[in-house]
Amino acid sequence: MSLDERMRAAALLERERIARELHDSLAQVLGVAHLRLHALAARPSVRADEPAHREVLDLAELCHEAYADVREAILALRESTNPDRTLLEHLRAYVATFSRTSGVPTSLVVHTGAEPCLAPCAEIQVVRIIQEALTNVRKHSGASGATVTVRALPHQVECTVADDGVGFEPADALSGDGFGLTSMRERAEAAGGGLHVDSAPGRGTRVTVRVPGRGVAASAHPAEATA
C-alpha cells in the first residue's frame, strides 16, 4: 500500500469511528432528552404553568432539531466512508436518503455521459460540500423541492444544489457565525476549485462547486433523474 492509500484508509477508519461515537453518545442523549422533555411537558403541574410549559416544549424542539442534525452528520460520514463508491454512486445514495428523510423532495440530474473523473480527495470534498448544502436546504430554505446537478465542463466538473426556498443575502451570511458556507468554500479550494453561492431573499438558492476533473458531456438527454 502506498503512503497515500494508507493515509486514505486511516482517514476512512477515523470517519467510521467518529460516526459510531456520535451515534452512541450525542444522538442517543438528544433522542432521550427530547422524549423526557415531552413527558415533562405533559405533567399537570407543568401544564398549569404556561411560561414553564412553553419553555419545556421549546427545549424539546431544540433537542429534536439537534438530533436531526446529528443523524444527518452521521449519515454524511457513513456515506463518504466507502472508498469503492464512485462520485455518482455516493450522490445517488445520499440524495435518495436525503429526499426520503428531510421532507424536501430532491432529485439528482446527471448531465455527463460517463462517470466524471476526479482525484479521490476531490471526490470526497465534493460529496461533503453537497451534503452540507443539502443540510442548509433542509434547515433554512423552506423549499418545496431541490435539485442536485452534475455537469461536465472543459477540464472541470460542476455540481450544483438548487432550491426554490426563501433565499438569503450571501454577503450577510458569510459575515455571520455560520460555519457551513465557509467550510464548503475551504473544501472546494482544497480540491483546487471554487464555490459560488447565488441567492437573494425570495429567489431560492443555488450553490455551485467546480473542481478540476474530466467528465464526458452528455450527448442529448440527462443520463438520469431520480426522485
Ligand X SMILES: Nc1ncnc2c1ncn2[C@@H]1O[C@H](COP(=O)(O)OP(=O)(O)O)[C@@H](O)[C@H]1O
Q: Which residues of the chain form contacts with ligand X (CB under 6 A)?
A: 136-137, 139-141, 163, 165-168, 173, 176, 178-181, 205
- Closer Cβ to Mg ion, 102 or 136, answer by number: 136
C-alpha–C-alpha distance, residues 17 and 15, integer Å: 5
- Kindly list the strands in the beta sheet with 146-153, ordered across the sheet, starting from the edge strand earlier in the chain: 194-199, 205-212, 156-163, 146-153, 106-110, 224-226
Size of the site for Mg ion (CB under 5 A): 2
User: Could you please report the per-residue DSSP string of 20-52?
Assistant: HHHIIIIIHHHHHHHHHHHHHHTSHHHHTSHHH
208 touches, from ligand X, Mg ion, none (C-beta below 5 to 8 Å by class): none
User: Could you tell me the smallest distance in angstroms from the CB atom of residue 132 to ligand X?
Assistant: 7
Q: Which stretch binds Mg ion (CB under 5 A): 30-38, 57-65, 179-187, 204-212?
A: 179-187
Residue bearing cell 457513513:
78
C-alpha–C-alpha distance, residues 225 and 212, integer Å: 24
- Closer Cβ to ligand X, 152 or 181, answer by number: 181
- Closer Cβ to ligand X, 56 or 195, answer by number: 195
Amino acid at 2: S
User: Could you tell me the smallest distance in angstroms from the CB atom of residue 107 to ligand X?
Assistant: 16
* Per-residue binder mask for Mg ion (CB under 5 A), 130-169, x = binder: ------x---------------------------------
Our finding on whether 180 is near Mg ion (CB under 5 A) is: yes
- Separation of CA 224 from chain center: 21
User: Could you tell me the smallest distance in angstroms from the CB atom of residue 36 to ligand X?
Assistant: 26
C-alpha–C-alpha distance, residues 74 and 166, integer Å: 27
173 touches, from ligand X, Mg ion, none (C-beta below 5 to 8 Å by class): ligand X
Per DSSP bridges, beta strands 106-110 and 146-153 are parallel
- Separation of CA 170 from chain center: 18
User: Could you tell me the smallest distance in angstroms from the CB atom of residue 113 to Mg ion?
Assistant: 33
- Separation of CA 152 from chain center: 22
11 touches, from ligand X, Mg ion, none (C-beta below 5 to 8 Å by class): none
- Closer Cβ to Mg ion, 136 or 141, answer by number: 136
Q: Which residues are CB-contacts of 23 (< 8 A; sequence separation ≥ 6)?
A: 74
User: Could you tell me the smallest distance in angstroms from the CB atom of residue 126 to ligand X?
Assistant: 17
Q: Which residues are CB-contacts of 133 (< 8 A; sequence separation ≥ 6)?
A: 161, 184, 207
User: Could you tell me the smallest distance in angstroms from the CB atom of residue 40 to Mg ion?
Assistant: 30
